[in-house]
Structure 1
């Protein structure tokens, strides 16, 4: 039934949107592509799972602690690996290429570290919510309803942070003109570090929600990274509304393609969308040509 598949697509798209938000925030503020983002997402899920299994915390208590741990890890990685490469300039081609290579290296370091610490066996995160909700002929589990609710809460919190706080105004100033922002006394490095912290927290939420619906394992970060990359290109690099719209649309496309064509080919439509956007509107739906 079409309505059922649309709801399933919105659930999946909500997680994709959360995955893409952290990715696009980093690009929007620092003009950097962080290829280790998928592994940060994976580690965030493992942090939440470990807090639940080791300390016996319920999901909704372990998740904020996992977000804090992932945010801290993201900031540490920024200062140890990315900041030294961009000390002279965030906009030089050499600096951008070095960051890409370093984050690609981090991707494998973090993934292999996860294999060593947690092993390769997939594990599921139990949210602790059961039951279903009937919306006419549409069946929606309470757990999937919570996924949509969490996405809405995260998006609202991000909007309030960006447009209703001083740090949000400073972040937007850095994104628009880093040199001009520095001229009026804004500390670009501290603001970028804050962006990495927010990005890490969002990645933890996305990874943990994926763990409740599917499973947590060290190789889980690859697919969300690719999907996030497609989403931010589709929506517009650095565009928060574009990441949300792109994530929801991609979730719908994959779900409908899997239901009515074949799950074996659903990823083909993802990359056909990427190719079409690059050919027809390279700046993305919400992006601006620079």
Structure 2
């Protein structure tokens, strides 16, 4: 049984561009490791990984601006909820808090963030590990390959959500424990991993001022980089881990990404869903430990 960091343990705070950013840390020695959550999640999604990795390394889990306990400012010219913004945040975090280059590990959209950071600031990336990377099927460049009704439907939905009143109402309808649990039970293959604690981790930030605006800004974000744009530009060791039963990011698309020459290894996680690090940390942690040890 893996001992998780107590979610009630007070996280640390770092000020970035005048905004408070929360993060958690485990371990004081060894190579640096930074963990980056997916959409709607937070550092707490790594609570089962932090203490294990922290036994051997300096391990950090950060809340991207707009998520978790971090500030959620209204989208503006200064803060746009894009991968370029989050990539800069992560780079500055490595410089100012970590104080060194780090192994960058992400889940879902967090994978795009760590790739963006490694492309823009290669001197800060000791390696990139992507766990069930978001393939961004609703990106403008990918929607044209969808059946017309799905393409049209997604465009209409984005336009509708652009109305602030409708968008806020929609957010309130999905930001409910029963709805979140139902979504997680789709994403996880092991239903016992969908605990009340996990629901609380995801629900608490949704009550914060600005949470709805961040959610709506990202749901309308159909531009920016795709993983196939960033992966070929990586110059550090790169591994892809993929739950084979992910209903959102098909493993077949993960295998296509693995064919890119800069990807050193592809690890299929049989029978796991979209968030294997939380669903089966007893499987994922040893893989990450071995990979970091090989490349430190």
TM-score (norm 1): 0.25
More strand by share: 2
Task: Return the structure number with greater relative CO, CA threshold 8 A, min gap 6.
Answer: 1
Larger radius of gyration: 1
Give TM-score scaled by structure 2 length. Answer: 0.25
